[in-house]
A = this chain, B = another copy of it.
Amino acid sequence: MKVVELSGGVGGARMAVGLARLSAIDLTVVVNVGDDEEIHGLHISPDIDTVIYTLSDAQGPEGWGRAGDSFNVNTELARFGVDNTFVLGDLDLALNLFRTNRLAAGARLSTVTGEITSSFQITPNVLPVSDDLLRTEIMIDKANWIGFQEYFVIRQNQDLVKAIRFTGQDSASPAPGVIESIQQADHVVIAPSNPPLSIWPILAVEDVRSAVAAHRNVTAVSPLIGGKALKGPADRVMASLGLPPGNLGVAEAYQDVVDRLIIDSDDRDDVARIEGIEGIEVLPTDIRIKEPGHAERLAREIVGL
């Protein structure tokens, strides 16, 4: 059975672990690159790396970065007056150095991502949604646009997100294999990632949106329980962008692309209302998937195994 997951960072990575534990599944994870950034001249792809690290059980305690990493390079950079607020661990830096050099040598991001995936000896196919420049930018004040990492890491996602845009979306093509994998998939799963900040940049690539919209079996997992994000600023961002609160907002964020929304059992009272308004199937179950076993159970429910 072929499954495609659209994924942001930590939540998507945990969902990927659950799907990857189902041996009957041929899994492709299509990952957001709107968070990519250049840090100290290195091309960082935080969501791709979080997915790969988590799939190989090498992720850090907060879900991102590497477990047991050291920070010797990052600390030393301060000696030279370099702003090291965006913390890159030493192991993480080695990966970013490798990727940066491969890209500088002309390799595509998807090719390099495949090489990194092989280096970590994981089975799923991990694909950036695009090899082209595509960057999420955040308006925190009238005409004041900042990059995603400045919003998320440096300013610790405390600003009110007044608008978002995806620089490069008009010229970004899907990476090789993205459209084919969606078209051939038995299931497309939208991870419990931040809808506007992690999934919209994936759907911002027009051909990807069309392929997902045309697919007849697209299931989204809500990142909210009781109207609150399990992790990160999803509820606040959705509210400030004018989406309805709670799971109805999630359904609306994915209007025209999803056939089914999975929400938490605690929110089962939402089912009838959302089904009535949005015309999609809404299924309540336990969506807490921090533990791989829980993620596997949810994955099994989604794909009907």
Contact A116 B41 (CB under 8 A): no
List A residues 242-292 near B (Cβ within 8 Å).
none
Is there an interface contact between A81 and B40, defined as CB atoms closer than 8 Å?
A: no
A40 touches B72 (CB 8 A): no
**A56 → B minimal CB distance (Å):** 11
The residues of B that contact A100 with a CB separation of less than 8 Å are: 41
CB-based contact B98/A80 at 8 Å: yes
* Stretch among A15-23, A26-34, A86-94, A144-152 lining the B interface: A86-94
For the complex formed, measure the closest distance between the CB of A206 and the CB atoms of chain B, giving whole angstroms.
Answer: 33
- The residue of chain B having its C-beta at the shortest distance from the C-beta of A97 within the complex is B40
State whether A94 touches B77 (Cβ < 8 A): yes
Contact assessment for B79 and A93 in the assembled complex, using a CB-CB cutoff below 8 Å = no
Q: With A76-B95, A95-B76 given, is the CB distance from A101 to B70 under 8 Å?
A: no
Q: A70-B70, A81-B119, A119-B81 are in contact. Are A76 and B90 (CB under 8 A)?
A: yes
- A97 / chain B contacts, CB cutoff of 8 Å: 40-41, 73, 77
| Interface members, chain A 99-128 (any B CB < 8 Å) | 100-101, 104, 115-116, 119-120
What is the bound-complex CA distance between A120 and B77, given in angstroms? 12
Question: Which of B76, B82, B116 meets A80, CB within 8 Å?
Answer: B116
A90 to chain B, nearest CB (A): 4
Q: Is the CB of A94 within 8 A of B80?
A: yes
Contact A119 B80 (CB under 8 A): yes
Q: Tell me, rounded to whole Å, the shortest Cβ–Cβ distance linking A67 to chain B.
A: 13
- Set of chain B residues within 8 Å of A119, measured between Cβ atoms: 79-81
Chain B residues contacting A73 (CB-CB under 8 Å) are 73, 90-91, 93-94, 97
Query: With A79-B119, A80-B119 as given contacts, are A72 and B101 in contact (CB-CB < 8 Å)?
Result: no
Which of these, B72, B77, B104, B115, contacts A72 with CB under 8 Å? B72
A286 CB to nearest chain B CB (Å) = 36
A40→B96 CA distance, assembly (Å): 11
Nearest-Cβ distance from residue A113 to partner chain B, whole angstroms: 12
Q: Which residues of B contact A90 (CB under 8 A)?
A: 70, 72-73, 76, 90
CB neighbours of A120 from chain B (8 A):
79
> Once the chains are docked, how many angstroms separate the CA of A290 from the CA of B141?
60
Q: Chain B: which residue is nearest A101 at the CB level?
A: B41
Q: Within 8 Å CB of A76, what residues of B?
A: 90-91, 94-95
- Asked if A82 meets B98 with Cβ closer than 8 Å, knowing A41-B104, A76-B90, A90-B76, the reply is yes
Q: A86 to chain B: closest CB distance in Å?
A: 13
Determine the distance from Cα of A72 to Cα of B70 in the docked complex, in whole angstroms. Answer: 8
Given contacts A41-B104, A90-B90, A104-B41, contact A98 B72 (CB under 8 A): no
> 5 closest Cβ contacts across the A-B interface?
A76-B94, A72-B90, A80-B98, A41-B101, A73-B94
A to B CB contacts below 8 Å, 8 in the list: A40-B97, A70-B72, A73-B73, A73-B91, A79-B94, A79-B119, A81-B119, A90-B90
